[in-house]
Amino acid sequence: MNREDLRSWLALLRLPGIGPVTLLPWLADGQDVRELLNNPPAGIPERLRRLLQHPDWRTVDQDMEWLDQPDNHLLPVTDPRYPAQLKTIPDPPTALFVHGDPGVLSTPQIAMVGSRNPSAGGARTAHDFARHFASCGLAVTSGLAMGIDAACHQGALAANSITIAVMGTGLDRVYPASNRELAHQIVDRGALVAEFPPGTPPHPGNFPRRNRIIAGLSLGTLVVEAALKSGSLITAQQALEQSREVFAIPGSIHNPLARGCHLLIRQGAKLVETANDVLEELAPALSKLLERENDPPHRDHAQPPRLLDNEYQQLLEIMGFDPISADSIIEQTGMAPETVSSMLLLLEMDGQVSSEPGGRFTRNRKSA
């Protein structure tokens, strides 16, 4: 995209009081953004016409300075890098500001949210679940808030894997400021994302809006700990409205931070006790994603699938091509049983292994 197109997009995004509900129908008609500014659609209110024809170019130029910095990107909804998963929600953002690698936004993701003031056990559970998901090839997406959000990001980073933070501010600000170092670590392994332009402060109304993006980027949303009035329940509700899976971890009936999760479970959320419960539920959706990504001409079949890091390759080499039990794989790899179980599940969905009667698995020839 050339600089004039970028400036035109930024001008649209800076129009006061005009959001995706207004802009997306205009853009759906194939309207060129520069043409939209020069010749607004017929029949629109005069106020909108004036705004389109007289953008705040001074602020736009400041935004361009931000985009000129390393690893800063703008992904309009028409950009091929804009995540396809997010386009399917009822109200996708007109554009995304990204600091980091925009390519990670198309990675299969699990959203994890919860209390800003979790129990020690809740934070530990969030960290461990996130690490497990990340080790199995899922990107972990959350909101960079204190508490559960931070624990989820840290768990994914502990697995040296991708994590994505969707922010309720401009990307030149980190809120809360105490998570600034965590934000830097996330950029090294994934991305910070926002629909708000640089300079946007942490206004309370921004965070419910960003929650729909957390849910929309992901195959499902897991709530770890949440009180009855937690913002995490908003994310869960938005996930349901987007036809995404919702999961909740139960807790003690005496713990106020478990009541939001219990409410979600009563309303139909999937009760989960292990990370594998989530992976098994997401298997059909994840399999479809992998199929789409692995179909020619999108995949060179001479290369291993994207999910296969060194641990996956090690597991396949140990398997050979004769049927082998999961217990034998666990013994030879030294990996935890739940880790091997998840890896085998993902490899089977990716067509690399097949399950056999008696709890044994066989490596398929195409994975050689």
CA neighbor of 283 nearest in space, from 160, 83, 110, 125 = 110
**Assigned domain for 268 exists:** yes
Same domain, 140 and 233: yes
Residue % of the chain over a pLDDT of 70:
92
**Assigned domain for 85 exists:** no
Dist. CA 317–CA 309, nearest whole Å:
13
Dist. CA 245–CA 233, nearest whole Å:
13
Question: If you ran DSSP here, which 8-state letter would residue 271 be given?
Answer: E
pLDDT per residue over 319-334, tens digit each? 888 889 888 898 888 8
CATH code, domain with 332: 1.10.10.10
- Which of the two residues, 42 and 200, has the higher pLDDT score? 200
Range of the domain at 335: 301-367
Same domain, 206 and 260: yes
Same domain, 135 and 274: yes
**Assigned domain for 109 exists:** yes
Same domain, 29 and 172: no
- Which of the two residues, 319 and 70, has the higher pLDDT score? 70
Note the pLDDT of residue 314.
Answer: 85
Same domain, 165 and 39: no
**Assigned domain for 133 exists:** yes
Note the pLDDT of residue 304.
Answer: 35
Position 111 pLDDT exceeds 80: yes
Note the pLDDT of residue 351.
Answer: 77
**Assigned domain for 82 exists:** no
pLDDT per residue over 220-243, tens digit each? 999 999 999 999 999 999 999 999
pLDDT per residue over 258-295, tens digit each? 999 999 999 999 999 999 899 989 987 776 655 555 54
pLDDT per residue over 126-170, tens digit each? 999 999 999 888 999 999 999 999 999 999 999 999 999 999 999
**Assigned domain for 188 exists:** yes
Average pLDDT over residues 97-113: 96
Decide the pairing of beta strands 360-363 and 353-356.
antiparallel
Q: What are phi and psi of 200, to 5 degrees?
A: -70, 125
Same domain, 114 and 213: yes
Tokens of 163: 């994590």
CATH code, domain with 110: 3.40.50.450
pLDDT per residue over 10-41, tens digit each? 999 998 888 888 788 877 766 788 888 888 87
Note the pLDDT of residue 309.
Answer: 63
Question: If you ran DSSP here, which 8-state letter would residue 1 be given?
Answer: -
**Assigned domain for 288 exists:** no
Same domain, 51 and 18: yes
Same domain, 256 and 210: yes
CA neighbor of 152 nearest in space, from 202, 222, 104 = 222
Same domain, 262 and 155: yes
**Assigned domain for 236 exists:** yes
Mean pLDDT, all residues of the chain: 89
Single residue among 52, 68, 84 that ends a domain in this structure: 68
The whole model's pTM is what? 0.81
Dmax (CA) for the chain in angstroms is: 73
Alpha helices by DSSP H, listed for 244-325, are 259-266, 275-294, 310-319
- Which of the two residues, 52 and 60, has the higher pLDDT score? 60
Note the pLDDT of residue 91.
Answer: 92
Q: Per the structure, how many domains does the chain have? A: 3
Dist. CA 303–CA 161, nearest whole Å:
20
Same domain, 120 and 252: yes
- Which of the two residues, 180 and 136, has the higher pLDDT score? 180
Average pLDDT over residues 324-350: 82
Residue 289, C-beta contacts closer than 8 angstroms, at least 6 positions apart: 108, 219
Position 298 pLDDT exceeds 60: no
Note the pLDDT of residue 290.
Answer: 55
Same domain, 136 and 275: yes
Same domain, 265 and 305: no
